[in-house]
């Protein structure tokens, strides 16, 4: 067991190292001179040289990478070119709103996906199933930059129930969470339906029914518990998509989180902040995936033994 966990952690570390390398290389992938891209063509040569030295771009590539790694190990993410604040301070301010939004979206996804998925599985090939799966297909097909404005149009402008944008109390969280959570709800409900359908044909379900248990108890106590494994993996994998989706959702609703900071920094060409945001979001994703793998292995011995 500990061997399996160590193996997962080791490969996660390799992936994180690769992610750090790609994020470091981002600045060098820009066509032309990155300093000119950041400052614009009108900047004086003195300013350019200063920025080049500040970012260490005048040194050989390998030395730059070693320095970048060294600074990262000290949790030094550099200084924002725009606000001159340490990048880590900027990130700390922006993390709570994004975590809040992601958790709320997960809650929305659960609340929508479980009833839809269970209903569709119980009423397979009937109109309830078709309707639930049509909703799910629609949910997958409406991107959140369209869902957001549509929800604002309906619930903020026409009905006046929720604020259009900003972060001011729980009520302002509803529309962004709905926007971000719907796509996940759509994918999740399909997964719940599929894995419930597989479980519902098992012998122990027939036994439970034969004992005279009601549908609610059969589903709640026997079927769902066993159908949850693939669902848990999917949730782990989808949290990354949720974090990426949060970037766009935060822009739609002017939600002051990491996503908004990423896009604002890209627009201002504030490289150290862009690098830090991408690094933080991707590393979080890798860690969550690794944890999901480990939990999956703990829950299902077949997984860890097969590797």
Partner 1 sequence: MIKCISGYNMRFYFSISVLSVWLLMVILVPVMDLHPNSIVLEKILKTADQNSIFGYDDLGRPLFDRLMAGAYTSFTVAFGVVLVSLLVGTSIGVISAYAGGRWDHLMVRIIDIFMAFPGILLAIALSGLMGPGITNVIIALSVVGWVGFARLSRAQVMSIKQSEHVLSARSLGASHSRIIIYHILPLTIAPLLIELTFGIASVVIAEAGLSFLGLGIQAPEASWGSMIRDGSQYLLMAPHMVLVPGIALMMVVLAVNMLGDSIRDMLDVKR
Positions in the binding site for partner 1 (CB under 8 A): 11, 14-16, 18-19, 22, 26-27, 29-31, 37, 137-138, 140-143, 145-146, 148-150, 152-153, 157, 240-241, 243-245, 247-248, 251-252, 262-263, 266-267, 271, 274, 278, 281-282, 285-286, 289
Closest to partner 1 by CB, 149 vs 256, is 149
Q: Tell me the torsion sign for CA atoms 146, 152, 153, 159.
A: positive
Q: Compute the half-sphere exposure of residue 137: CA atoms within 13 Å on the CB side of its CA.
A: 6
What is the closest distance, in whole angstroms, from the C-beta atom of residue 215 to partner 1 in the complex?
25
Backbone phi, then psi, for 213, in 5-degree steps?
-70, 150
Give 153-193 as a DSSP string: IIIIIIS--S-SSS--SGGGGHHHHHHHHHHHHHHHHHHHH
CA-CA distance, 143 to 6, in Å (whole number)? 38
What is the closest distance, in whole angstroms, from the C-beta atom of residue 191 to partner 1 in the complex?
14
Closest to partner 1 by CB, 229 vs 241, is 241
Closest to partner 1 by CB, 133 vs 174, is 133
259, exposed or middle or buried, with CB in 10 Å at 0-12, 13-18, 19+? buried
What is the closest distance, in whole angstroms, from the C-beta atom of residue 33 to partner 1 in the complex?
13
What is the closest distance, in whole angstroms, from the C-beta atom of residue 19 to partner 1 in the complex?
5
Closest to partner 1 by CB, 86 vs 240, is 240
Size (the chain), residues: 307
Closest to partner 1 by CB, 104 vs 293, is 293
What is the closest distance, in whole angstroms, from the C-beta atom of residue 208 to partner 1 in the complex?
26
Q: Supply 135's token pair.
A: 């909703």
């Amino acid at each position: 067991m500990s061997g399996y966990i160590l193996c997962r952690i080791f490969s996660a570390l390799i992936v994180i190292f690769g992610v750090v390398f790609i994020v470091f290389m981002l600045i060098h992938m820009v066509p032309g001179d990155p300093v000119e891209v950041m400052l614009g063509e009108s900047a004086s040569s003195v300013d350019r040289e200063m920025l080049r030295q500040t970012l260490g771009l005048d040194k050989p590539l390998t030395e730059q990478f070693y320095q970048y790694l060294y600074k990262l190990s000290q949790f030094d993410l550099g200084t924002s070119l725009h606000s001159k604040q340490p990048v880590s301070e900027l990130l700390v301010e922006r993390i709570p709103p994004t975590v809040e939004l992601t958790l709320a979206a997960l809650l929305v996804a659960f609340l929508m996906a479980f009833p839809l998925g269970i209903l569709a599985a119980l009423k397979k090939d009937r109109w309830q199933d078709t309707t639930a799966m049509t909703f799910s297909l629609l949910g997958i097909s409406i991107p959140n930059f369209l869902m957001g404005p549509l929800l604002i149009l309906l619930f903020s402008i026409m009905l006046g129930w929720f604020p259009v944008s900003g972060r001011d109390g729980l009520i302002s969280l509803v529309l962004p969470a709905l926007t971000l959570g719907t796509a996940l709800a759509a994918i999740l409900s399909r997964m719940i339906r599929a894995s419930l359908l597989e479980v519902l044909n098992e012998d122990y379900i027939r036994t439970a029914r034969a004992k005279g248990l009601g549908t609610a108890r059969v589903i709640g106590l026997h079927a769902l518990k066993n159908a949850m494994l693939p669902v848990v993996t999917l949730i782990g994998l989808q949290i990354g998509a949720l974090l990426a989706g949060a970037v766009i959702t935060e822009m739609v609703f002017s939600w002051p989180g990491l996503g908004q900071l990423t896009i604002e920094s890209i627009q201002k060409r504030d490289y150290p902040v862009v690098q830090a945001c991408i690094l933080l979001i991707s590393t979080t994703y890798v860690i969550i995936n690794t944890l999901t793998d480990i939990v999956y292995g703990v829950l299902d011995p077949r997984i860890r033994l097969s590797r």
